[in-house]
Chain A
Amino acid sequence: MENSFFSNLKCRECGKLYPKQAIHVCDFDFGPLEAVYDYEAIRGKLTRQLIESRPQSMWRYRELLPIDGEPTVGRQVGFTPLVKADRLAKALGIRELYIKNDTVNYPTLSFKDRVVSVALSRARELGFEVVACASTGNLANSVAANAASAGLKSYVLIPADLEQGKVLGSLVYGTQVVAIHGAYDQVNRLCSEIAGKYGWGFVNVNLRPYYAEGSKTMGFEIAEQLGWRLPQHTVIPMASGSLLTKIHKAYKEFIDLGLVEKTPFSVHGAQATGCSPISTSLKRGSDLVKPVAKPQTIAKSLAIGTPADGYYAIHSMNQTGGSADDCSDEEIIEGIRLLAEHEGIFAETAGGVTVGCAKKLIASGKIPADSSAVLCITGNGLKTQEALLNQCGAPRVINPSLREFEDQIYQPDLAAAF
Chain B
Amino acid sequence: MAEEKTRLWLMFPARLITRPIIWELAKKFEVVTNIRQASITDEVGLLSLSFQGERSEIKAAIAWLEEMGVKVEPVEINTIEG
Contact = CB atoms under 8 A, between A and B. Distances in A.
B37 A31 contact: yes
Contacts of A184: 80
A183 B20 CA distance: 27
* Interface core residue of B62, B72, B75 (most chain A CB under 10 Å): B75
A134 B80 CA distance: 5
Contacts of B52: none
Given A30-B7, A185-B72, A136 B82 contact: yes
A29 B48 contact: yes
Given A191-B79, A306-B77, 18 more contacts: A25-B7, A29-B37, A29-B48, A30-B48, A136-B80, A137-B82, A138-B82, A157-B80, A159-B80, A188-B78, A189-B72, A195-B76, A204-B76, A240-B81, A286-B43, A288-B39, A290-B44, A308-B78
Contacts of A239: 81-82
B60 to A, nearest CB: 14
A303 interface: yes
Interface residues of B, number: 26
Interface string B36-65: 110101011010100000000000001000
B14 to A, nearest CB: 10
A24 B76 contact: yes
Nearest to B4: A193
Nearest to A24: B76
Contacts of B44: 288, 290
B7 A188 contact: no
Interface of B: 6-7, 9, 11, 36-37, 39, 41, 43-44, 46, 48, 62, 66, 71-82
A139 B79 CA distance: 11
Interface residues of A, number: 45
A250 interface: no
A194 B34 CA distance: 22
Contact of A30 (B37, B80, B82): B37
Contacts of B41: 286, 288
A30 B34 CA distance: 11
B78 A304 contact: yes
A192 B73 CA distance: 9
A188 B76 CA distance: 9
Contact of A205 (B6, B43, B79): B79
B36 A204 contact: no
A347 to B, nearest CB: 14
A350 B48 CA distance: 31
Contacts of B79: 134, 188, 191-192, 195, 202, 204-205
8 contacts: A29-B48, A157-B80, A188-B79, A192-B74, A192-B76, A204-B76, A304-B81, A350-B82
Contact of A300 (B7, B36, B75, B82): B82
A122 interface: no
A189 B8 CA distance: 9
B81 A135 contact: yes
A288 B81 CA distance: 21
Given A30-B36, A30-B48, A306-B11, A301 B71 contact: no
Contacts of A301: 82
A302 interface: yes
A195 B78 CA distance: 13
A28 interface: yes
A192 B81 CA distance: 13
A204 B79 CA distance: 7
Nearest to B66: A185
Given A189-B72, A306-B73, A240 B36 contact: no
